[in-house]
């Protein structure tokens, strides 16, 4: 077995695949399993009708499991009550790593696809077509029981994936750093736990689903009555709220923002949320309720976040879904990707507690640690507000300025401007775009950027060196081997952001692996950007919070250089309370008032 020489540390190597049904929001319902042990040639197949057989595999340090997208198989194991294996090589992760940033002619390989069929095709191996795979999956999903010939059909289909993974293995092994790949493979287990467990959602969410149209009207009306935007019109018998573009532009004109608001190709004020509305609302907080209302009304039309019969939101984590290695769950499925007020429905049930944690200013701290910039390190280690400190360095605030939301609105306004500027500059924004985002002349935006580069000169020298190195080598990667291929068309901004975002992804990933290894996988619920959510019994909550802190600290000691000690903000929510997102408070209060009135009626 020449292809397995790099796997000599393992006495047995199992290639495995499972088939399952997975109704929206529910756990995997096992259908069958096929596996082949490559050294002995032993083949194993199991069909799960009504029985749940014991785990046929023996785990020890000399056993390796090779899969293509292992978290799907481990969710089946969890549904069967089987223990997860210690060592995993996931060729899906390794193929993603291999093609990350790679173009073949005019095709970006990531966009072509990263399924097993795509990988086999790239190496010239025969495989079922996408259409054939879809047909077989449709057959499995279309029924809950199968005649003998149907069972044989499903097993034969499952074997095609085992055989395909076995064929793929020798093509990929020569270019795989096994230790790094096993680390990535270990992440498949916490991912499986998170997708298996999901987030606990309050029963109130079902009430909202049943009152979507009334709530759209109530949110729009309440926000209009309080803020007098004059943007929403109410049409038809149902008084459906409609966001009127001409009314919105009249509002922008009244606020004196017409000259600085970014326009569309046809000259209208853009309402594109991420690039325009959100940064402008940060500069002009009086617009944030309008922005949240608009997003909420749209979300209520598409509210279908997947909930299981047990009231839990289970969504695909999609690990390594972004080029930086971050997760990329679908917005339509994942409640944490919805407007801020919707997140308030996350709530533990009786006797349970939710432990949540968020890395404080993660990318700023990582940039300080990696670059060794003394000013960035000072600001992060002191706990000072980085946006106010930047404003001070640019002489926009006096040296003794401190943040006081209630009593010093002028400082808060300047902070908002420099927060938008700082975040934009870190992502490589130019003076022209920054001037539009801030509503200031070009020369002033240029001066703000120059101030940042002067104040944090060490960081910029490091960042420019990283970019030059990536251009010279044709790739950039993390210490753990997550790689981005670079070419002439790779943007400077992509290279500027990769080190911080990819390191943050590695940090969160390693924290999850350590939690799973210490028996806390059963408590993992979801990741979100730089945050984690776990659920446990009320009695365990304090221990889980402390263990989460320990795992995060250990992960940071491995991922970072040690110049900066990243901080983790940990909170505990106990029944009957719910998770609170302060940015969604105004809309949440409107929704709760509406539901209270419905209950009273």
Residue 183 tokens read as 């680390």
Cβ distance 486 to 476 under 8 Å? yes
As a whole number of Å, the CA-based R_g of the chain is 26
Higher-pLDDT residue of 420, 120? 120
Cβ distance 122 to 107 under 8 Å? no
- 111 by Cβ neighbours in 10 Å (0-12 / 13-18 / 19+) ranks as exposed
Beta-carbon-side half-sphere exposure of residue 4 (alpha carbons within 13 Å): 18
User: What are the extents of the domains in the chain?
Assistant: 2-186, 204-304, 311-363+475-601, 374-455
User: With 90 as the cut, is the pLDDT of residue 598 above it?
Assistant: no
Residue 3's pLDDT is 61
Residues forming beta bridges with residue 18, ordered by sequence position: 33
- 228 by Cβ neighbours in 10 Å (0-12 / 13-18 / 19+) ranks as exposed
From CA 35, how far away is CA 46, in angstroms rounded?
9
From CA 560, how far away is CA 366, in angstroms rounded?
7
Of 407, 357, 367, 358, nearest to 390 (Cα)?
367
CB atoms within 10 A of CB 45: 15
Whole-number average pLDDT of the chain: 91
Higher-pLDDT residue of 437, 102? 102
Residue 1's pLDDT is 45
Residue 253 tokens read as 């004109």
Residue 303's pLDDT is 56
- Write out pLDDT tens, residues 546-594: 999 999 999 999 999 999 999 999 999 999 999 999 888 888 998 899 8
Q: How open is the CA angle 16-19-22, to the nearest 5 degrees?
A: 135
User: With 60 as the cut, is the pLDDT of residue 539 above it?
Assistant: yes
CB atoms within 10 A of CB 250: 16
Higher-pLDDT residue of 6, 35? 35
* For residues 213-239, average pLDDT: 90
- Write out pLDDT tens, residues 258-283: 887 888 988 999 999 887 888 788 77
Helices (H), 178-287: 178-186, 188-197, 204-210, 212-227, 245-254, 278-283
Length of the chain: 601
What b/e readout covers 515-532, taking b as 16+ CB neighbours within 10 angstroms? bbeeebbebbbbbbebbb
User: With 90 as the cut, is the pLDDT of residue 153 above it?
Assistant: yes
Please report the sign of the dihedral spanned by the C-alpha atoms of residue 148, residue 152, residue 153, residue 155. positive
CB atoms within 10 A of CB 567: 18
Q: Chain-centre distance of CA 266, in angstroms?
A: 34
- Write out pLDDT tens, residues 293-304: 998 888 786 555
Residue 522 tokens read as 């059963």
Q: Is 217 helix (H, G, I), strand (E, B) or coil?
A: helix
CATH label, 311-363+475-601, candidates 3.10.20.740, 3.40.640.10, 3.30.70.370, 3.40.50.2000: 3.30.70.370
From CA 598, how far away is CA 265, in angstroms rounded?
44
User: With 70 as the cut, is the pLDDT of residue 98 above it?
Assistant: yes
Architecture per CATH, 2-186: 2-Layer Sandwich (3.30)
Does the predicted TM-score (pTM) go above 0.75? yes
Cβ distance 192 to 75 under 8 Å? yes
Residue with tokens 């019109």: 233
CATH label, 204-304, candidates 3.10.20, 1.10.3470, 1.20.1060, 3.40.1350: 1.20.1060
* For residues 126-137, average pLDDT: 85
* pLDDT band per the 50, 70, 90 thresholds, residue 44: very high
Q: What is the dihedral of CA 563, 430, 418, 586, to 10 degrees?
A: -110
* For residues 354-364, average pLDDT: 95
Picking from 2-6, 97-101, 306-310, 590-594, which range would have the lowest pLDDT averaged per residue? 2-6
User: With 50 as the cut, is the pLDDT of residue 187 above it?
Assistant: yes
* pLDDT > 70: percent of the chain: 99
From CA 492, how far away is CA 503, in angstroms rounded?
18
Residue 130's pLDDT is 79
From CA 55, how far away is CA 33, in angstroms rounded?
11
Of 349, 369, 373, 371, nearest to 359 (Cα)?
369
Residue with tokens 């072509």: 112
Residue 362's pLDDT is 94
- Write out pLDDT tens, residues 479-503: 999 999 999 889 999 999 999 999 9
């Amino acid at each position: 077995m020449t292809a397995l020489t790099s796997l000599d540390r393992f006495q047995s190597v199992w290639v495995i695949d499972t088939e399952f049904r997975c109704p929206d929001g529910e756990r995997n319902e096992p259908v069958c399993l096929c596996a082949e042990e490559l050294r002995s040639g032993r083949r194993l197949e199991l069909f799960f009708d009504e029985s749940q057989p014991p785990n046929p595999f023996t785990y020890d340090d000399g056993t390796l499991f090779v899969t293509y997208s292992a978290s799907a198989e481990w969710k089946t194991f969890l549904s069967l009550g089987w223990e997860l294996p210690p060592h995993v090589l996931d060729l899906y992760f390794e193929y993603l790593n291999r093609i990350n940033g790679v173009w073949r002619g005019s095709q970006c390989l990531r966009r072509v696809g990263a399924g097993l069929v795509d990988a086999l095709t790239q190496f010239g191996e025969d495989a079922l077509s996408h259409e054939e795979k879809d047909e077989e999956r449709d057959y499995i999903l279309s029924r809950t029981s199968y005649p003998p010939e149907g069972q044989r059909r499903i097993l034969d289909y499952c074997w095609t994936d085992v055989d395909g993974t076995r064929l793929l293995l020798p093509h990929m092994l020569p270019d795989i750093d096994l230790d790094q790949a096993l680390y990535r493979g270990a992440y498949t287990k916490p991912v499986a736990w998170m997708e298996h467990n999901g987030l606990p959602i309050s029963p109130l969410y079902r009430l909202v689903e049943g009152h979507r149209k009334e709530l759209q009207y109530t949110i729009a009306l309440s926000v209009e009555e309080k803020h007098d935007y004059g943007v929403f019109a109410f049409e038809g018998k149902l008084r459906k709220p409609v966001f009127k573009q001409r009314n919105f532009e009249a509002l922008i004109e009244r606020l004196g923002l017409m000259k600085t608001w970014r326009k569309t190709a046809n000259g209208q004020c853009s309402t594109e949320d991420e690039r325009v509305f959100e940064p402008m609302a940060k500069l002009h907080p009086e617009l944030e309720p309008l922005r949240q209302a608009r997003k909420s009304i749209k979300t209520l039309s598409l509210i279908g976040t997947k909930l299981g019969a047990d009231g839990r939101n289970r969504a695909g984590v999609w690990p390594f879904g972004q080029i930086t290695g971050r997760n990329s769950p679908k917005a339509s499925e994942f409640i944490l990707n919805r407007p801020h007020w919707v997140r308030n429905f996350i709530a533990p049930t009786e006797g349970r507690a939710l432990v949540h944690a968020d890395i404080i200013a993660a990318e700023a701290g990582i940039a300080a640690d990696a670059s060794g910039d003394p000013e960035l390190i000072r600001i992060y280690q002191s706990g000072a507000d980085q946006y106010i400190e930047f404003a001070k360095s640019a002489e926009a605030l006096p040296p003794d300025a401190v943040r006081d939301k209630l009593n010093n609105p002028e400082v808060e306004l300047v902070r908002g401007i420099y927060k938008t500027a700082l975040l934009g500059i870190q992502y490589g924004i130019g003076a022209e775009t920054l001037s539009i985002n801030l509503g200031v002349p070009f020369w002033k935006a240029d001066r703000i950027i120059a101030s940042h580069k002067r104040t944090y000169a060490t960081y910029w020298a490091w960042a420019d060196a990283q970019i030059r190195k990536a251009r010279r080598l044709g790739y950039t990667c993390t210490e753990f081997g997550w790689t981005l291929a670079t070419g002439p068309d790779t943007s400077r901004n992509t290279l500027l952001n990769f080190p911080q975002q990819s390191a943050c992804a590695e940090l969160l990933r390693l924290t999850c692996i350590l939690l799973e290894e210490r028996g806390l996988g059963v408590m993992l619920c979801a990741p979100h950007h730089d945050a984690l959510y776990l659920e446990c019994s009320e009695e365990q909550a304090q221990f889980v919070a402390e263990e989460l802190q320990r795992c995060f600290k250990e992960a940071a000691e491995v991922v970072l250089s040690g110049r900066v000690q990243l901080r983790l903000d940990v909170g505990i929510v106990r029944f009957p309370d719910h998770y609170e997102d302060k940015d969604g408070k105004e809309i949440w209060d409107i929704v709760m008032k509406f539901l209270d009135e419905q209950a009273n009626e």
